[in-house]
Chains A and B, each alone.
Chain A
Amino acid sequence: MSINKFIKNITLAVLAGSTIASCNKLDEKVFSQDSPDNFFGSKSDAEAALVGMYRPLQICCGGYEQAGTFILNSASDEGDAALFWGQFDDLTYTPNSTGEIGDLWRATYQSISSANFVIDNQEKIAAVDADFASKAIAEAKFTRAMNYFQLVQMFGGVPLRITQAKRADDVNIPRNTEDEVYNQIIEDLKAAKQDLPESYPAGKPTKWTAASWLAKVYITRKDYANALAEANDVIDNGPYTLQTTFASVFDVNNENNSEVIFAIQYIRKDQQGMRMQPLITGPNDKFASGATGGWGLGYVEEGFRNKYSPIDDRINTTFTSPDLRPGETNFYAGKWRDPEGVTADGHGTDFIVMRYADIVLIKAEAENELNGPSTNAYGAIDIVRDRAKLPGLTSGLTQDQFRDSVLLERHLELAYEEIRWFDLKRTGKLKEALEAVGKVWNDRYLYFPIPQTEVDASNGVITQNPGY
């Protein structure tokens, strides 16, 4: 072989070799996003996954944000709403008007999916830190239960997911029964109560948060004995106390105070502020104090203001102004005010999902149901009335009268906290209350419609609620 030929052959071999050297592995590398399979290798991974459960409930527009505000306040006898949201006050919402209902459905299930993501990885977390793992799983179970509790009350038996959807064929499951959902909620809350610590940084649930939810779930299920037991446990052994004034409960500078059991956290920074509650909070010029408010797109149901005794201290906080402003025909809600007003970052005010006064009133209610209007029952309701600068409840009420009194007290105490609709539903008073504000009843109002998009996407596997 000549030297030329040799060089030629070598060169050709090198050229051909460059081809073979190329790689046929086509694994898709993921650089800037984590993959679920590579997660939970450290404690901070698990902590981040827990934080991820709360964000859907906070961010516009699902969860307790716009959706909860407009649906639950307007569809009860507390609120009215402007613009498109009038449909919730008029009760003309349909499965297709899914704006808020769809947002709430989506956000709540996103939070559940995130909770399941933590629970599914229990072993991996335990491998890192077993003690931390039991707390983390308890926190996830609490969040899952809280979300299902919201869903089951609003929609009835919903699809119950206790593990995360991981594959395309996991995505479509039918609805479960209400009982199945409630059983899971109670099981999760019990586990959470057992494993959660007594105290945690603000924004995270504790043992007592779980116990409070148990009290609420039991009373919703009319299991008064358990409701009373949990309420008493919280009251006797928990860390909560009533604030001395009603106004300080909602003071943006006094957040996560002694009365707060669980609150969705908002800070006025990097758009982590509350965006949608300010929509119903009265605007600047509606505040008696000149405090800065929100947009005023929701307002107070006609006549609600007059349910308060003139000396009730809660009037000043619950409404933007105790009396109608000149030229105004509506009262505006005032609880979620932030004196700094609305900016790009949103309101700083937290949204309190449950507070101690609620538990105290649950005690009064459960006590009355079990033992009639006992001293304990009077004692509980009067703690709340006393803080409102009201005299004690008229003595000598019958059990029925006392029951009505507690419901009214809850109405006045917890207005615009997305509670009234659930109270009315669980006590069987929804029809009566809506008719009292001039609405025509239909049985379908006991449940909200499943978003039509969900029914469609499930190809009929998920059935619509009756009447829609």
Chain B
Amino acid sequence: MFKKRLAQLLFVKQFFLLLSLVTASLITFAQNRMVVSGKVLSENNTPLAGVSIKVKNVSGGTVTDDQGNYSIQVNKGEILIFSYVGYNPMEIKVNNEKTASSVQLTSNVSALSDVVVVGYGTQKRKDLTGAVTTVNMRKAEEVPLVSVDQLLTGRAGGVQINQSSGQAAAGTSIRIRGGNSLNGTNEPLFVIDGFPIINDNAAYAAPPQQGVPNGLAGNQMITNPNGALNWLNPADIQSVEILKDASATAIYGSRGANGVIIITTRKGKAGQARLNFSSTLGVSRLNDRNMEMMNGDEYAEYNNLSRIHQGLAPIYVDTTIGDKFFPSPGTIGEGTDWVKEVTRKGITQNYSIGFSGGQEVVYAGSVSYLNQETPFLGSQFRRANFRLNLQTNLTNWLSLDNSTSYTSSISDNAPSDGRDIAYRVGIFESALSANPVEPAYNPDGSLNYDGEVSPIRPGLPFSPISLGYDLLNKNTVQTFLNNLSLKAKIIEGLNFEVRGSVFNNSLLNDIYYNSKTTFTGYNTHGLGSKNTNDSRSYLIESFATYNKTFGQNAINAVAGYSYQKTDYRLVGASASNFPNDNLKNENLAAGGTQYPTMTTRIEDLLSSYYVRLNDVLFDKYIFTFTARYDGSSKFGEGNKWAMFPSGAISWRISEEDFLKNSKTISDLKLRVSYGLSGNQAIQSLQSKSLLATVNYPIGGVLQTGIYPSVLGNPSLKWETTKQFNFGVDFGILNQRVTGSLNYYVKNTDDLLQARVIPQNSGFGTILDNVGSISNKGIELDLHANVINKSDFRWDIDANIARNRQKLTDIGLEGIDTLLVQFQPIGGSPANIALIKDRPVGLFWGYQNDGIYNTKEQIDGSASIPGSQPGSRKFKDLNGDNVINASDQVVIGDPNPDFVFGISNTFGYKGFDLTVLFQGVVGGDIYNLSDVILERLGNRRAVTLNYWTPSNPNATFAAPGDDVGRDYHSDFSVEDGTYVKLKALTLGYNFATSKLKFVSSIRLFVSGSNLLTFSNYGGFDPEINSYAQSNLFRNIDILTIPLYRTYTFGLNVGF
């Protein structure tokens, strides 16, 4: 009975449905039906594919094809809505077929409806509660770049990026909102298509080799290893989001404390196949020098005076010693410009083909090749990339998404700097210090390495040029990443996704020192090594997402589980004493001296549960709660698991009645968040007690011995960062001006530090959780569309940030000042200081007090023993009449007051121009150039203002006076303020509407590191010799500097 009734009802319902449909179509036919077609272009006149076109208040619609073309059936008088991610939507009322034949959309980075990629999902920008900056990829991609991390420079507030050197493939150091950690990494987590990678250069460096004596271990030379993201082709990137506050990063739990950078690669769109070809040609050269060295005449004169001062006979007096002639000053002239001899015009070529399309299976991919020469001899980076992203629906409820990328790269490099290893120098510092009296080449064209080129190693073979050509230092890297994901739609709004990823990074490092032309090679009769570092990481992840709107309550939830295992395998072998240099390091067995082979294997496990709930009420009040429960193998029993929760509230004031109709304020949102995130990036095996092997001869035969080498700390746990963030997002004048202002306070506790313990325990240190750091800061990101005419557009993107760091607790009882030593070169270590309630990395030393003029001045004050007129004078700060360690104070602070970036973009008809300025205000640089050069040989030309009785107001000590040269002082500290014209790009987009097979043509010319405004006396104020180190920042030890590149490029789309 009931069933019958139901059937009747259903029949009635279906009948009415059919009836209404027929009626509707009849009515439609009665109106002015027409087909409107046209092309949608960006403000640069490039066709936009995938633009959604809908008729207002009517369901259904279409999208543009790859040429930007569309056609849609519409009735006269109806309104077409064009919308596209990242662009302002446009509404056009239809009058006739030609109404919308050419539509130009204007971009808007901060469009509220933009979808922002966040951890494990996406959200609309208006629904965000966290501090998330989206880097405008359309602007970034106009600048040709080698690596993704470089692209972020100056683009986002509170994100400071330092390239570690001008070496080929050099890495970067990224600080989001200051450093939290002393010994763990401070680098943000990168999440590439869902796969987390820590940008830790150390993981990509060749392993240090034990048992190989200092000064011989070839691989220790790699002070600036390859950048961790060099394998990623910037052209493949669709979007970059920077997650900064706890609300955004806590979903990454133990890896979120340093911020998270989410990179999403391009996915295909259904439609006609599209091909894009781009080719660039670049020329790189060293920037103009503001650091002139002494020329030949000056050097010979200075050398003579130095020798006389030291009681030795001058040699540059037209004498012949052995069979070598030493000309006198005045007869030499300029001599050799060694920097010029080791530099060149580096040529960079880059070819890339991108393709996308598909129907059932959509695809996007690229193949690219890069060959980048730096301006330094023998330094280049070659890279081949391949990427293929595929997506398809397996059934109507199950879809598959796979992305594969493979990169093979080779970087050759001359050594960057000497660092702390005896008798080794970088190509740049050895060129600066080389004897300008010596010719670079002999009359027969062969290299001059006969022993007078390096003043500190007279008689021993050496030439800066040989560091470029005769020193093999090559990294061959292969990187493979595959992400496979299956997404199932369970019910409307509820999706379940399973992902599996494999990441393999395998590095082979080749080193060989030629036995004739390099000093180290000469000493060891050829020194070669091969080192491999193979890391494999596996990720299994499954999570569910739920999106549902209940009346005025929109819920977005994620919950999941992830498990990641990383395996590192390192092998290193080296030998010296080779019969000849023919085979370099390819047959290590031929070496007469074999060093112990080193093998290491380490496994890290990370297991996690996470959840996020985002609830939007009345489109005004937004609540976010996230938590991640992480477990890591690196920590001690009982401390392996920790919870990282966060909560946030935001209020869209502009949706309130009193502002809703405001003409000026188009958007206003307040955000408050608080949460915990962690840092687990410490080396493995720190919680375990370990044994190490040694050798010792018993009965005349080497035996293997073993001894307790590491005292483990089973109570080791995470560094935890508690972060509070208050933010305002605003938009005025219909979103023509938008921006975000954030204030944050971060407190990091339980710093992982190697605590020095009494050595009577048999051990030197134990890793422990001691100490705290706090960072407070404010950052502002602004976007303004200044002019928006149909043929002229001007946009400004600007950001400025200020961070204040404080080491609130050093973690060592009773100690308020802790000095940490580093050794610029030779035997003169310098210190940085960790001081309670001060920022990290303060420079520590004496206060310079000029030069002594008279014997009376020396006798009348505390002086360094041996001082005479012309010697350096330092302040006796404690007045005890002795110059010693207790007269040392803080002499500089590397932490800047402000960091900013301003990007201007102009569009005029087919032309576009992007100008990026980036700068740092405040922050000192510890310029150790003079300290290093004084020991190595030739010196800066400014040194010619040296003391003589007739030049009592000199800046520099008398030639040859080395009293006090090991006393590091504020003489070496300089203001690090600078503004750089970081990038400038001028492009032209040809009109292609009349061309059949070509959809876009763009020609551009671009320059990077073009101008620097600074008072810095070193080579380049954007210096960071110690790369990612947390303690040693803004220190210049003559690391290979950044250089200028001009690039010409062509992009053609088919």
As a 0/1 sequence over residues 366 to 403 of chain A, the CB contacts with chain B under 8 angstroms (1 = contact) are 00000000000000000000000000000000000000
Stretch of A29-37, A72-80, A228-236, A404-412 at the chain-chain interface: A29-37
* Chain A residues whose C-beta falls within 8 Å of the C-beta of B213 in the assembled complex: 271, 344
Q: Known: A109-B759, A171-B766. Is A51-B703 also a contact (CB below 8 A)?
A: yes
- Cβ of A109 and Cβ of B761 under 8 Å apart? yes
Among candidates B398, B488, B760, residue contacting A109 with C-beta atoms closer than 8 Å: B760
- Cβ of A32 and Cβ of B601 under 8 Å apart? yes
- Cβ of A55 and Cβ of B759 under 8 Å apart? no
- Cβ of B498 and Cβ of A15 under 8 Å apart? yes
Is A440 located at the chain interface by the 8 A CB criterion? no
- Cβ of A164 and Cβ of B762 under 8 Å apart? yes
Is B493 located at the chain interface by the 8 A CB criterion? no
- In chain A, positions 86-107 with a C-beta closer than 8 Å to chain B are 96, 102, 105-106
Among candidates B633, B685, B711, B760, residue contacting A26 with C-beta atoms closer than 8 Å: B633
Stretch of A241-249, A325-333, A457-465 at the chain-chain interface: A457-465
Is B596 located at the chain interface by the 8 A CB criterion? yes
Once bound together, how far apart are the Cα atoms of A54 and B692, in whole Å? Answer: 14
- In chain B, positions 288-309 with a C-beta closer than 8 Å to chain A are none
Is B404 located at the chain interface by the 8 A CB criterion? no
- In chain A, positions 247-276 with a C-beta closer than 8 Å to chain B are 256, 265-267, 269-272
- Cβ of A15 and Cβ of B542 under 8 Å apart? yes
- Cβ of B708 and Cβ of A113 under 8 Å apart? yes
- Cβ of B698 and Cβ of A265 under 8 Å apart? yes
* Chain B residues whose C-beta falls within 8 Å of the C-beta of A18 in the assembled complex: 498, 540, 542
Stretch of A196-204, A210-218, A281-289 at the chain-chain interface: A196-204
Is B330 located at the chain interface by the 8 A CB criterion? no
As a 0/1 sequence over residues 220 to 242 of chain A, the CB contacts with chain B under 8 angstroms (1 = contact) are 00000000000000000000000
As a 0/1 sequence over residues 607 to 645 of chain B, the CB contacts with chain A under 8 angstroms (1 = contact) are 100000000000000000000000111100000100000
- Cβ of B702 and Cβ of A28 under 8 Å apart? no
Is B31 located at the chain interface by the 8 A CB criterion? no
- Cβ of A48 and Cβ of B705 under 8 Å apart? yes
Least Cβ distance of B495 to chain A in Å? 11
Q: Known: A51-B698, A51-B705. Is A344-B633 also a contact (CB below 8 A)?
A: no
Q: Known: A22-B563, A267-B697, A270-B695. Is A168-B762 also a contact (CB below 8 A)?
A: no
Q: Known: A28-B685, A271-B211. Is A8-B706 also a contact (CB below 8 A)?
A: no
Interface residues in A, total, Cβ within 8 A: 84
Among candidates B490, B540, B704, residue contacting A19 with C-beta atoms closer than 8 Å: B540
Q: Known: A24-B607, A31-B603. Is A117-B702 also a contact (CB below 8 A)?
A: no
Once bound together, how far apart are the Cα atoms of A74 and B593, in whole Å? Answer: 35
- Cβ of B488 and Cβ of A26 under 8 Å apart? no
Once bound together, how far apart are the Cα atoms of A102 and B605, in whole Å? Answer: 39
Most interface-central of B687, B688, B707, B813 (chain A CB within 10 A)? B707
Q: Known: A15-B542, A24-B607, A165-B763. Is A272-B688 also a contact (CB below 8 A)?
A: no
Once bound together, how far apart are the Cα atoms of A461 and B758, in whole Å? Answer: 10
Least Cβ distance of B559 to chain A in Å? 11
* Chain A residues whose C-beta falls within 8 Å of the C-beta of B700 in the assembled complex: 202, 256, 265, 267
* Chain A residues whose C-beta falls within 8 Å of the C-beta of B704 in the assembled complex: 48, 51
Least Cβ distance of A350 to chain B in Å? 9
- In chain B, positions 657-692 with a C-beta closer than 8 Å to chain A are 684-685, 687-692
Among candidates B488, B563, B691, B697, residue contacting A272 with C-beta atoms closer than 8 Å: B697
Least Cβ distance of A251 to chain B in Å? 15
- Cβ of A39 and Cβ of B706 under 8 Å apart? yes
- In chain A, positions 44-71 with a C-beta closer than 8 Å to chain B are 45, 47-56, 58-59
Once bound together, how far apart are the Cα atoms of A102 and B759, in whole Å? Answer: 9
* Chain A residues whose C-beta falls within 8 Å of the C-beta of B594 in the assembled complex: 270
Once bound together, how far apart are the Cα atoms of A222 and B254, in whole Å? Answer: 63
Residue of B nearest to A5 (CB): B397
Among candidates B496, B632, B684, B695, residue contacting A55 with C-beta atoms closer than 8 Å: B695
Residue of A nearest to B600 (CB): A32
Once bound together, how far apart are the Cα atoms of A8 and B692, in whole Å? Answer: 54
Among candidates B496, B632, B698, residue contacting A15 with C-beta atoms closer than 8 Å: B496
Once bound together, how far apart are the Cα atoms of A61 and B703, in whole Å? Answer: 21
Once bound together, how far apart are the Cα atoms of A456 and B768, in whole Å? Answer: 17
* Chain A residues whose C-beta falls within 8 Å of the C-beta of B788 in the assembled complex: none
- Cβ of A23 and Cβ of B563 under 8 Å apart? yes
Is A307 located at the chain interface by the 8 A CB criterion? no
Is A183 located at the chain interface by the 8 A CB criterion? no
* Chain A residues whose C-beta falls within 8 Å of the C-beta of B813 in the assembled complex: 459
Is A177 located at the chain interface by the 8 A CB criterion? no
- Cβ of A106 and Cβ of B706 under 8 Å apart? no
**Total residue contacts A-B, CB cutoff 8 A:** 232
Once bound together, how far apart are the Cα atoms of A173 and B398, in whole Å? Answer: 65
Is A16 located at the chain interface by the 8 A CB criterion? yes
* Chain B residues whose C-beta falls within 8 Å of the C-beta of A427 in the assembled complex: none
Q: Known: A35-B688, A267-B700. Is A49-B705 also a contact (CB below 8 A)?
A: yes
* Chain A residues whose C-beta falls within 8 Å of the C-beta of B699 in the assembled complex: 201-204
Q: Known: A48-B705, A113-B708. Is A35-B607 also a contact (CB below 8 A)?
A: no
Among candidates A11, A12, A161, A272, residue contacting B760 with C-beta atoms closer than 8 Å: A161
Among candidates A50, A172, A204, residue contacting B757 with C-beta atoms closer than 8 Å: A172
* Chain A residues whose C-beta falls within 8 Å of the C-beta of B997 in the assembled complex: none
Least Cβ distance of B594 to chain A in Å? 7
As a 0/1 sequence over residues 700 to 718 of chain B, the CB contacts with chain A under 8 angstroms (1 = contact) are 1011111111010111000
* Chain B residues whose C-beta falls within 8 Å of the C-beta of A96 in the assembled complex: 885
Once bound together, how far apart are the Cα atoms of A433 and B471, in whole Å? Answer: 55
- Cβ of B696 and Cβ of A265 under 8 Å apart? yes
Residue of A nearest to B708 (CB): A117
As a 0/1 sequence over residues 445 to 457 of chain A, the CB contacts with chain B under 8 angstroms (1 = contact) are 0000001011011
* Chain B residues whose C-beta falls within 8 Å of the C-beta of A36 in the assembled complex: 689-691, 708
Once bound together, how far apart are the Cα atoms of A451 and B759, in whole Å? Answer: 10
- Cβ of A272 and Cβ of B698 under 8 Å apart? no
Among candidates B599, B688, B711, B768, residue contacting A30 with C-beta atoms closer than 8 Å: B688
Residue of B nearest to A255 (CB): B700
- Cβ of A52 and Cβ of B698 under 8 Å apart? no
Among candidates B498, B603, B758, residue contacting A29 with C-beta atoms closer than 8 Å: B603
Residue of A nearest to B706 (CB): A48
Is A443 located at the chain interface by the 8 A CB criterion? no
* Chain A residues whose C-beta falls within 8 Å of the C-beta of B605 in the assembled complex: 26, 28
- Cβ of A165 and Cβ of B490 under 8 Å apart? no
* Chain A residues whose C-beta falls within 8 Å of the C-beta of B524 in the assembled complex: 344
Among candidates A19, A32, A34, A55, residue contacting B599 with C-beta atoms closer than 8 Å: A32
Is B815 located at the chain interface by the 8 A CB criterion? yes
Is B192 located at the chain interface by the 8 A CB criterion? no
- Cβ of B697 and Cβ of A30 under 8 Å apart? no
- Cβ of B601 and Cβ of A457 under 8 Å apart? no
Once bound together, how far apart are the Cα atoms of A231 and B496, in whole Å? Answer: 84
* Chain B residues whose C-beta falls within 8 Å of the C-beta of A26 in the assembled complex: 605, 607, 631-633, 640
As a 0/1 sequence over residues 145 to 186 of chain A, the CB contacts with chain B under 8 angstroms (1 = contact) are 000000000000011010011111011110000000000000
Most interface-central of A29, A58, A105, A269 (chain B CB within 10 A)? A29
Once bound together, how far apart are the Cα atoms of A12 and B699, in whole Å? Answer: 67
* Chain A residues whose C-beta falls within 8 Å of the C-beta of B347 in the assembled complex: none
* Chain A residues whose C-beta falls within 8 Å of the C-beta of B757 in the assembled complex: 171-172, 457
Is B90 located at the chain interface by the 8 A CB criterion? no
Is B860 located at the chain interface by the 8 A CB criterion? no
Most interface-central of B490, B596, B605, B631 (chain A CB within 10 A)? B605
Most interface-central of B524, B706, B885 (chain A CB within 10 A)? B706
* Chain B residues whose C-beta falls within 8 Å of the C-beta of A45 in the assembled complex: 706
- Cβ of A453 and Cβ of B756 under 8 Å apart? yes
- In chain B, positions 465-490 with a C-beta closer than 8 Å to chain A are 486, 488, 490
- Cβ of B691 and Cβ of A39 under 8 Å apart? yes
Q: Known: A30-B688, A168-B715. Is A159-B758 also a contact (CB below 8 A)?
A: yes
Once bound together, how far apart are the Cα atoms of A34 and B602, in whole Å? Answer: 13
Is A345 located at the chain interface by the 8 A CB criterion? yes
What are 8 sample pairs from A and B whose C-beta atoms fall under 8 A apart? A29-B603, A37-B689, A48-B703, A110-B762, A165-B761, A168-B768, A171-B758, A203-B699
Q: Which 3 A-B pairs have the closest CB atoms?
A: A113-B762, A201-B699, A51-B705
